[in-house]
Amino acid sequence: MDNSLAYLQACLDRSLNALRVEPPLRCSEWAAKHWLLSNESSPQPGPFRAVPYQIGLLDISAHDNIPTVVVQKSARVGYTTINTILTAYFHIHKARNTITYNPNDELASEHMQARIKPAVRDVPILERYTSGLGTRKVAKSLNLNNGTILRSLGGASANNYRAKDADVVIFDELDALPTNLGEGDPVYLGRMRTMASPRPKLIMGTTPLISGESLVESNMASADLRLTFKVLCPSCGSRESIEWGGADGVEGLVYEAGKPETASWICPNCQSVHGYEYQRTLVQSGRWESKEGTYWNNGEFLKATDSGCEVQPLPRSVGLFIWSAYNPRQQWSEICRVHHLSGNDREKIQAFENTWLGKFFKQEVITIEPDPLYRRREEYSGVPADVLCITAGIDVQKDRLEAHFVGWGVGAESWSLAYRIYMGDPVRNEVWEDLYGDLEEGLPLEDDGAITMPVIQALVDSGYHTMEVYAQVRSYGERILMACKGMSTIGSPLVSVPKLKDREHRVRIVRVGVNNGKDSLYARLALADVGSGYMHFPIDAEHDYEFFRQLTSEEKVKVKRGGRMVYTYEQIKGLSNEVLDTSVYALAAFKVAERKGRTKSRITMEGGGRIKSRIGKRSSSNADVVPVRKKSSNFLGL
Ligand SMILES: [Zn+2]
């Protein structure tokens, strides 16, 4: 055979190969054979090498006879890659139609641009099935040349569930979707889309949010089989899942309080300690297994019995839980460091539990009584030495302004410093001049009354006398005083600061999630130990019993809203709530100042001049000291 003939033969073989039907492969086998990671999706582009837990994730999710798969996961477990591979596998290897629902239209289009398109470019088999895609823009759907349609849609609109059928529906970040879209919940609507398929499949994955408000939580609870990734303890051979043990924990992933670098895993069976150097060995030995001992083994479920291993019937629905500690690229010390830095900050703890542990955050119902707070007032006046900066929250009433001045220390420990009422019509300038003078001058230091500490950030509620508030903020120039607007929508972040000024009013309007703020405040008020997050109050006339009645004037109640149960705050009859509102705004102002980087130096004023000192040293030395419970003194001597 001459060379040209051999070349022709080789070309012919290659084109025939492309058309040849592949023998059935499990998704993990298919991925090992075909998948290449793109620059956009991986820090290590190139051939895809599944980490042990990803093999089961792929194969269970892609199994023809398991109609429902629920995945509760933290960030940093490579789940987005898993989803992209699953989508490609369903289309190319199984000739199925898919719809992926993302939290909104924007993210749906990003999924196409940042995940699917690079995969088409870099994975040869996918490129062959989408010939001629080139630089064409892919919007909501992609037609493959085996006749299948790949869709990526926003899951928050009921419209996107109408008249679009598929064999496979995948939810990416299900918990970010509303639990009711008017016509039913997204899972129900998604399942309806697969009803015409001979092999309907629903895959829902999420980083969890709040317990009691989650579709993944309820679907996980009702799954026929729930699996975790269980590893073999190198010391005793017991099969255990890696659980979070926390600071000074006795088993699971633990670290010595204050020393995240001591991260290690303590076997719950034999209490042997295993450092991070064991992580790869542990994960390599792992398998997906239920509490009852049913485990996934190369395409089937097995269970050990007296007479050996028995194949188990396939469940209709499987729930899988995985978190960052299992990822071989994730340092355990980093997980512990994030936990350590979260301190008592409720928002940070929730973010840590959701995104690092893959756990639902449990909302607490808190009612606060004014009496114990009133009784625990302490002897201090002016600005105590531990205060690093001051913020203020301001409420506008018909005939007055009310301002709460709060000092902040390490770990957001706070000291209520002053509660001032400026009598006067807020439509006139005088009352604002008095307020602004106080903000600029600030309050005298406790140990040297000649020195004052000015307010670094103040937020004034613009819900009442709106135009007047905007005009005042404009005239003072936003450096200290900013307008804010309370948002009562459940789930609104504590603060969001717009980059641009509101075009109409020419001021930036800070949005304050009041539910979130009250959650945070009530959680702080409930703390008994002095330290990060703790709130101090002084014994003085401004902090009288009425102050505490107003501070605790709302009840946290559970109500049904839009078909779901939510927590909200309701004012107790007959009580005013200005102190509560101004406390929330002062806390929000602290968060705004933190974002602006203004809490990094301690500013004081002496003889008309500003003195700026870096905080670094002081705070780090304080952070290493375990907070000692100070005895608070008060007028009863208790
Ligand atoms: Zn052990």
What's the CATH code of the domain at 172?
Answer: 3.40.50.300
Highest mean pLDDT among 189-198, 362-371, 525-534: 189-198
Q: Cα–Cα distance between 507 and 484 in angstroms, integer?
A: 10
Model pLDDT, residue 212: 74
CA of 239 from ligand 1 middle (Å) equals: 8
Which of 433-442, 487-496, 519-528 comes out lowest in average pLDDT? Answer: 487-496
Q: Is 50 exposed, middle or buried (0-12, 13-18, 19+ CB in 10 A)?
A: buried
CA of 253 from ligand 1 middle (Å) equals: 13
CA of 9 from ligand 1 middle (Å) equals: 59
What mean pLDDT is predicted for residues 191-219? 90
Tell whether 279 and 390 lie within a shared domain: no
Q: Which domain holds residue 294?
A: 225-314
Tell me the residue type at 194: T
Tell me the residue type at 205: G
Model pLDDT, residue 345: 76
Tell whether 397 and 385 lie within a shared domain: yes
Q: Is residue 18 part of a domain?
A: no
pLDDT at 628 over 50: no
> With contact defined as beta carbons under 8 Å apart, do 394 and 435 qualify?
yes
Number of domains in the chain: 3
Q: Is residue 271 part of a domain?
A: yes
Model pLDDT, residue 633: 38
Ligand 1 ion local residues (Cβ < 5 A) = 233, 235-236, 238, 267, 269-270
For every residue of 15-59, DSSP letters joined together read HHHHHSPPPP--HHHHHHHH-EE-TTT-SS-EE----HHHHHHHH
Tell whether 45 and 168 lie within a shared domain: yes
CA of 266 from ligand 1 middle (Å) equals: 8
pLDDT at 203 over 90: yes
- Tell me how far CA of residue 481 lies from CA of 26, 289, 330, 430, 433, in angstroms: 61, 56, 42, 16, 12
pLDDT at 562 over 60: no
Count of H-run helices and E-run strands, the chain? 19, 33
pLDDT at 97 over 90: yes
Model pLDDT, residue 634: 38
Model pLDDT, residue 424: 93
Q: Is residue 75 part of a domain?
A: yes
Q: Is residue 619 part of a domain?
A: no
Tell whether 206 and 285 lie within a shared domain: no
CA of 342 from ligand 1 middle (Å) equals: 30
Q: Is residue 533 part of a domain?
A: yes
Q: Cα–Cα distance between 363 and 347 in angstroms, integer?
A: 12
CA of 331 from ligand 1 middle (Å) equals: 21
Stated pTM of the model: 0.61
CA of 273 from ligand 1 middle (Å) equals: 9
pLDDT tens-digit readout, 385-441: 999 999 999 999 999 999 999 999 998 999 999 999 999 999 999 999 999 999 999
Match 């980059």 to its residue by tokens: 499
- Higher-pLDDT residue of 623 and 301 is 301
Q: Is residue 495 part of a domain?
A: yes
Tell whether 62 and 124 lie within a shared domain: yes
Model pLDDT, residue 470: 92
Q: Cα–Cα distance between 551 and 93 in angstroms, integer?
A: 62
> With contact defined as beta carbons under 8 Å apart, do 509 and 462 qualify?
yes
CA of 270 from ligand 1 middle (Å) equals: 4
CA of 598 from ligand 1 middle (Å) equals: 48
What mean pLDDT is predicted for residues 44-55? 93
pLDDT tens-digit readout, 158-171: 999 987 899 999 99
CA of 277 from ligand 1 middle (Å) equals: 16
Model pLDDT, residue 627: 40
Model pLDDT, residue 561: 56
Could you say which of 172, 197, 224 is where a domain stops? 224
- Tell me how far CA of residue 136 lies from CA of 415, 593, 600, in angstroms: 59, 45, 48
SS3 432: helix
What mean pLDDT is predicted for residues 499-518? 87
Q: Which residues contact 139 (CB under 8 A, 6 or more apart)?
A: 109, 112
CA of 357 from ligand 1 middle (Å) equals: 22
What mean pLDDT is predicted for residues 210-234? 91
CA of 240 from ligand 1 middle (Å) equals: 8
Tell whether 213 and 244 lie within a shared domain: no
Q: Which residues contact 443 (CB under 8 A, 6 or more apart)?
A: 382, 383, 390, 405, 417, 418, 452, 453
* pLDDT-derived band at 622, boundaries 50, 70, 90: very low
Which tokens is 567 given?
Answer: 């927590």
Q: Is residue 622 part of a domain?
A: no
* pLDDT-derived band at 14, boundaries 50, 70, 90: low
> With contact defined as beta carbons under 8 Å apart, do 370 and 363 qualify?
no
Tell whether 375 and 519 lie within a shared domain: yes
Name the CA radius of gyration of the chain, rounded. 29
Q: Cα–Cα distance between 408 and 193 in angstroms, integer?
A: 53
> With contact defined as beta carbons under 8 Å apart, do 176 and 102 qualify?
no
- Tell me how far CA of residue 606 lies from CA of 125, 448, 451, 600, in angstroms: 72, 10, 5, 20
CA of 251 from ligand 1 middle (Å) equals: 10
Which tokens is 202 given?
Answer: 């629903």
pLDDT tens-digit readout, 542-557: 999 999 999 999 988 7
pLDDT at 523 over 70: yes
Model pLDDT, residue 637: 30
Tell whether 493 and 598 lie within a shared domain: yes
pLDDT at 268 over 70: yes
- Higher-pLDDT residue of 617 and 532 is 532
CA of 203 from ligand 1 middle (Å) equals: 34
Q: Is residue 338 part of a domain?
A: no
Tell whether 237 and 212 lie within a shared domain: no
Model pLDDT, residue 135: 61
CA of 283 from ligand 1 middle (Å) equals: 14
pLDDT tens-digit readout, 590-606: 999 998 888 877 888 88
CA of 76 from ligand 1 middle (Å) equals: 26
pLDDT tens-digit readout, 122-132: 999 998 898 76
Q: Cα–Cα distance between 150 and 36 in angstroms, integer?
A: 19
Q: Cα–Cα distance between 403 and 406 in angstroms, integer?
A: 10
What mean pLDDT is predicted for residues 204-217? 86
pLDDT at 173 over 70: yes
Model pLDDT, residue 21: 62
CA of 271 from ligand 1 middle (Å) equals: 6
Model pLDDT, residue 638: 34
Q: Cα–Cα distance between 512 and 495 in angstroms, integer?
A: 5
Stated as kind and residue range, the H or E segment containing 386 is: none
What pairing do the DSSP bridges indicate for beta strands 252-256 and 244-247?
A: parallel
Q: Please give the mean pLDDT across all residues of the chain.
A: 88
Q: What is the CATH number of the domain that holds 530?
A: 3.30.420
Tell whether 242 and 194 lie within a shared domain: no
Nearest residue to 294 (alpha-carbon basis) of 286, 303, 285 = 303
Model pLDDT, residue 498: 84
Tell whether 167 and 293 lie within a shared domain: no
Model pLDDT, residue 617: 43
pLDDT tens-digit readout, 100-110: 999 999 999 99
Tell whether 543 and 489 lie within a shared domain: yes
pLDDT tens-digit readout, 573-592: 778 899 999 999 999 999 99
Model pLDDT, residue 170: 97
